[in-house]
Structure 1
Amino acid sequence: MNKFILSAIATTLVASPLIAAAPASAQSRHETTTVRQGPNGRTVVTKKTVVRPTQYRTWRAGQRFDRRYAQNYRVVTTYKNYRLAAPPRGSQWVRSGRDAILINGRGDVVQVRGGAFR
Structure 2
Amino acid sequence: MKKIMSAIMATALLSSGAAMAAPQSNRDNGRDNHGQQVSQAAHHKFTKGEKFDRSKAPNYRQLDYHDHKRLSVPPKGYKWVQSGDDALLIGATSGIVSAVVSNFLR
Structure 2 equivalent of residue 111 of structure 1: 99
Relative to the length of structure 2, the TM-score reads 0.57
Q: Which consecutive aligned stretches of 4+ in structure 1 deviate over 6 angstroms post-superposition?
A: none
Count of aligned pairs: 69
| CA radius of gyration, larger in | 1
Structure 2, unmatched stretches of 5+, are 1-25, 31-37
1:39-78: per-residue Cα shift (whole Å, max 9, x none)?
xxxxxxxxxxxxxx92121110111001110010010014
Query: What's the % identity of the aligned pairs?
Result: 38
Mapped to 1, the partners of 2:84 and 2:66 lie a distance apart of 15
Mapped to 2, the partners of 1:78 and 1:61 lie a distance apart of 19
Change (3 A) 1:70 1:79: farther
Considering Cα pairs closer than 8 Å and 6+ residues apart, tell me whether 1 or 2 has the greater RCO: 2
Deviation, structure 1 residue 103: 0.1
Q: Are 1:75 and 1:95, in contact at CA under 8 Å, matched by a contact in 2?
A: yes
Relative to the length of structure 1, the TM-score reads 0.52
| Between structures 1 and 2, the one with greater strand share | 1
